[in-house]
Chains A and B, each alone.
Chain A
Amino acid sequence: AQSVAQPEDQVNVAEGNPLTVKCTYSVSGNPYLFWYVQYPNRGLQFLLKYITGDNLVKGSYGFEAEFNKSQTSFHLKKPSALVSDSALYFCAVRDASGGSYIPTFGRGTSLIVHP
């Protein structure tokens, strides 16, 4: 079975400060991990993913995420937040070892960046 948890419904950060959106996962084998962003009244957009290789993954709009196998986490980070980063962020996981070939999405974390 595969599952993903986003422990925070909402994250508030001031513009210019670093931001972190948390994600933890559970899979039987190795994970494929994804982050998507949803702006108001829009569909989800792909940000970045970890399949294999370097634990630090760089994605769109200056975002990055760090895969930590021992902590089963894949937190999304950005060194300096922008007001325009305010959106809903989804983490997703797929067990690369088989079972479901479809990723499971978390419930989403609302990021609010204050001017």
Chain B
Amino acid sequence: GDSVTQMEGPVTLSEEAFLTINCTYTATGYPSLFWYVQYPGEGLQLLLKATKADDKGSNKGFEATYRKETTSFHLEKGSVQVSDSAVYFCALSGLGGSYIPTFGRGTSLIVHP
């Protein structure tokens, strides 16, 4: 079945460091891909999305490119801030007309001043 694999955390960085959180997926077809962010004490919210191959989603300085050839959607940010500390979830949906999303397990990011 469909699946999403994220790197395990926690990822611990100093402020202004470069961030990469890896995400790969397994799917028969071409899903839409998403990154959600969960700040402490809150629900998940959409961070960025890409709906077709080679699309780049971006928001709040974060970017991710839909790579069909490597079935990946890695999240990057050039310079993290303490306020970026959160749990990040990679997800896919839209396969075969299905609205049911598949989530990765989440990666916790801790940014120190």
**Chains A and B are bound partners:** no
- On A, residues with C-beta under 8 Å from B are none
- On B, residues with C-beta under 8 Å from A are none
